[in-house]
Amino acid sequence: MKAANDRKLIVAGFLPLYDFRKTLLLRRSKSRGFLPRFYELPGGNVEDGEDPRDAAKREFLEETGLGVEVLDPFNTYHSVIEDTEYVQIAYLVDCKSPFSDLRLSREHQSHLIVSYDEVGNLLITEEERGTVLKGFERFINRKK
């Protein structure tokens, strides 16, 4: 593995919807330099000195306009991209705002409400796909 010159802690929120059968994903804007048009969970960087749970709440609000309660962490992953090492903590979140308040930031061009079975067909990194699937597997009683 290539040595990283910089480290970033990132957080993401998994929001169960429709009786725990679906979740919210955001599509990165086509103008983004890194992974344009890829789908991802709402989330982002933890600022220096910021608690990761507070960062997850802040990032979810910034990216969606929705207030959430941050619950338990359910997944972490590690990756090195170019000279930066990333560690992501994914949390289960509970929406405290009406879903009609959804307003995307400029970082994202659209949103998608997806089921477990739909995740495999999306333009999404393998790490993020794994996180979303683990969210479904851990928190959603999926009927086969």
In a domain, 81, yes or no: yes
Q: How many domains are contained in the chain?
A: 1
Residue 91 identity: Y
For residue 66, the domain's CATH number is 3.90.79.10
Lowest mean pLDDT among 48-52, 108-112, 115-119, 135-139: 135-139
- Does residue 90 form part of some domain? yes
Of the candidates 119, 92, 100, 113, the one whose C-alpha atom is nearest the C-alpha of residue 18 is 113
**What pTM, to 2 d.p., does this model score?**
0.89
Q: Tens digit of pLDDT for each residue in 39-84?
A: 999 999 999 999 999 999 999 999 999 999 999 999 999 888 888 8
CA distance 60 to 32: 18
Q: Decide if 144 is inside a domain.
A: no
**Domain of 76?**
6-138
